[in-house]
Amino acid sequence: MSETSIKILTYNIHKGFSTGNRRFTLHDIKQSLRDVDADVLLLQEVHGERTISKKRFDDWPNNRQFEFLADQIWQNHAYAKNAIYESGNHGNAILSKYPFISWENIDVSFMRTASRSLLHGIIELPSIEQKIHIICVHLGLFEHERASQLSTLADRISSHVPMDEALIIGGDFNDWRARAERYLHQGLGVREVFKSTGGAYARTFPSALPLLSMDRIYVRGLDIVQCQRLHDQRWDRLSDHTPLLAEFSF
């Protein structure tokens, strides 16, 4: 951790399985996240409970996936169920080295069969008394669904994030047609980090041969130091998405 900068990683972990659910990769994901050592992780498709998998895999963790990944590194975490079913649930998680002031889950489900939510946490960097709003996002697969969810996200920012407080939004936007910008740029003043530094959105899906720009990090009130797509042989085998890692300065 640094008193002048913060590293943020967003990653759809695909419930701890590789593309096509061919391999259980959660232990490798944990080690890879520890090696990167970001200050805050924004994770999507994280299992809270999954009784069937506990019986099928000998190395399935005894605690919930976000607790297993957090371990002793990210001691502050928030988890919100997006989808609830007979054998368990999964959703969004924010893991942080910094304490939470508060967090809240906003249900933006459009259909009962495809539950979605926005996980809004506020963390504080005690050494410099800096407040940062963190919103972890996983939007729907259909354009009309995402339009409603993006509108709710924009309203949430307008009503709950003061202009003089830092804001980071990250997650799986499922926005391969690049429509999110119209909701988030005008009036809200946020910038997409990878596009700001590289001129285009990062291609993050599917991980083996990324063609679609699904995962994003947006920012307001912080200076962008760098943003990179973690795309190599190691990461490509862990999930069907590629993570993004960004660094910001105060």
138-150 pLDDT, tens digit each: 999 999 999 999 9
Contact between 223 and 247 under an 8 Å Cβ cutoff? The reply is: no
How far apart CA 94 and CA 42 sit, in angstroms, is 5
If one compares 213 and 64, the residue with the highest pLDDT of the two is 213
For 167, counting Cβ atoms within 10 Å of its Cβ (0-12 exposed, 13-18 middle, 19+ buried), the class is: buried
% the chain with pLDDT above 70: 92
How far apart CA 127 and CA 140 sit, in angstroms, is 38
If one compares 188 and 85, the residue with the highest pLDDT of the two is 188
Rounded (5°) CA angle 240-146-226: 55
Distance of CA 99 to the CA centre of its chain: 18
Residue 96 is predicted with a pLDDT of 98
If one compares 61 and 236, the residue with the highest pLDDT of the two is 236
66-97 pLDDT tens trace: 999 999 999 999 998 776 666 677 889 999 99
Residue 162 is predicted with a pLDDT of 95
Residue 6 is predicted with a pLDDT of 96
For 199, counting Cβ atoms within 10 Å of its Cβ (0-12 exposed, 13-18 middle, 19+ buried), the class is: exposed
Tokens of 204: 């993050």
**Record: fold of 5-249:** Deoxyribonuclease I; Chain A (3.60.10)
Contact between 229 and 212 under an 8 Å Cβ cutoff? The reply is: no
Q: What value does the mean pLDDT of the chain take? A: 90
How far apart CA 229 and CA 232 sit, in angstroms, is 9
Sign of CA dihedral 150, 159, 244, 199: positive
195-230 pLDDT tens trace: 999 999 999 999 999 999 999 999 999 999 999 999
How far apart CA 18 and CA 23 sit, in angstroms, is 5
Residue 87 is predicted with a pLDDT of 67
How far apart CA 37 and CA 94 sit, in angstroms, is 14
Tokens of 73: 């590194």
Residue 61 is predicted with a pLDDT of 79
Please report the beta strands in the chain, taking only residues with DSSP state E, as ranges in sequence order: 5-12, 40-50, 76-85, 88-96, 100-107, 117-125, 130-138, 166-172, 191-192, 215-220, 223-229, 244-249
Q: Which of 14-18, 185-189, 194-198, 202-206 is least confident?
A: 185-189
Residue 112 is predicted with a pLDDT of 62
Residue 110 is predicted with a pLDDT of 77
The Cα-based distances of 18 to 25, 127, 163, 201, 241 in angstroms read: 6, 39, 39, 23, 9
Read off the pLDDT band of 4 (50, 70, 90). confident
Residue 88 is predicted with a pLDDT of 72
How far apart CA 183 and CA 164 sit, in angstroms, is 20
Residue 113 is predicted with a pLDDT of 56
Query: Hey, what amino acid is at 184?
Result: L
% the chain with pLDDT above 90: 71
If one compares 74 and 57, the residue with the highest pLDDT of the two is 74
For 191, counting Cβ atoms within 10 Å of its Cβ (0-12 exposed, 13-18 middle, 19+ buried), the class is: middle
Contact partners, residue 20, CB within 8 Å, separation at least 6: 240
Around Cβ 159, how many Cβ atoms within 10 Å? 7
Q: What mean pLDDT is predicted for residues 30-53?
A: 88
Read off the pLDDT band of 114 (50, 70, 90). low
Q: Which of 48-52, 79-83, 117-121, 219-223 is least confident?
A: 48-52
